[in-house]
Structure 1
């Protein structure tokens, strides 16, 4: 994420980040996600949203650059967020910010996940008021999506706490890559009702295509279910990258070991951004679908026509 970003909001507000440690008089280490970036003054983490500065202090501190910064808002059907078994038929107010702690070369939302996108200030109180403005449109609450929500950790935690204090029946949803450390995850999850978590591929896929690590994502899936959240999984299928039998079996066996009834969405991917590939073939989708259906009970298919779906399931 390039370009200088003014840390001060319109009201001169800045937000010190949670989950970091002071390493020396010159560096801090972010502890939010598994990258654990070590940052000197003026440097920003891999996510593009957390920066080390000395502000009214001789020692460096870590600050959130996207606190209260929103790039996109919309009222969306809950199914659009990969949640087919959570309050089906309802809508959810959806907010997106900017930044991501993975660097997927096929990212469909790279304009806001990998760049400093135009944004406006929406305070936590204003976000909750926006929910009320859609109360007559079958709106169940608020979803954080579009970019990676977990890099807006401080804002999401604040909004979620306030919303649950005001209306316990309102829902908080995350559409996330699940790439977060265990301690901050466990602090956040008591306020989260549902998650759609991307499970993108095997260890090699994460290392070379996403610049990340698989195991923390697997941990997030397990912990979220153990803590009582509704979880659905999405796999963006890219032919020749994460559709091999070994990769499919790894994901299938892990999900089966937790619960064979976890809803799984396999989505036909049309890569863009830095990946120049054709859309995944229907034959490849059919092959992968049949492998998952061997051991998982709830496999959904996305981004295909009705005719293609019938063929995949045949």
Structure 2
């Protein structure tokens, strides 16, 4: 079951799952020419009232000729409009949308689109899969830690390899260093250029695969990567370890459950690659500090972008790094202004 392009069907799907008088749907019309029906979804006393009023204010201030998708609205309602860090979440699944609403989030839907826009969100939520809550919590916790590791690999592995090969030979055992040096004999490019070319080629193949018909797209991207990688190694343009590094990075990037996190990884990875090519490990550390400082300065409808790490909240962090079992989930993730924080054991809403 999934959301459809008809707004009224979608409201019925959500009402079917949340049978409460506190579940509110507020309608408005946006677009001078399209006159598009836009609906705001939230649960009263759970969603912070100041956040709801602020989002309504931003939506009502939009003056545009047409709205065809919720993504039209994002750049109007975002706290920071000029940033690669997305401050919203999307979903087509009614159960996932209801899960967000029960945590105090607010959803916006547009008639004619099956996508629901969800705010506020923090960055760490992009690494959480909704399927984690449908399987055993121990297995889900292990898979979540695996995804966190894959995120670090996708972001840092090429830059770490370039830094080691270019500046920090002492970090590699001598037998491995000799093997790497032997594979790089005859390669005309430095490690930084080599990694940059392979990474750009991989991204190009991924985009080409997305634009091709679904029946042939994955096959073309996989076969193209194999053929181009093998041909590049045989021609002496790149080394075999670099192909392995880029392949591992690409596989790790696919482990991200959110498209928004994937976008951030794909863009930030090139910045880390340039930093490592210029200054080695020092450049990577500077880039990491700048990344965290920038992310800490952002917010999503007033929610700090790095919550619950910054500001630190140990109680909420327990459901980020691992999946907390339902029998131990007494409270909802806290949002400033939330009136009803209890999921079980006390008043849980009407």
Q: Same fold (TM over 0.5)?
A: no
TM range (shorter): under 0.3
Using the size of structure 1 for normalisation, the TM-score is 0.23
Larger Rg: 2
Using the size of structure 2 for normalisation, the TM-score is 0.21
Higher relative contact order (CA 8 A, sep 6+): 2
Q: Greater strand percent: which structure?
A: 1
Q: Greater helix percent: which structure?
A: 2
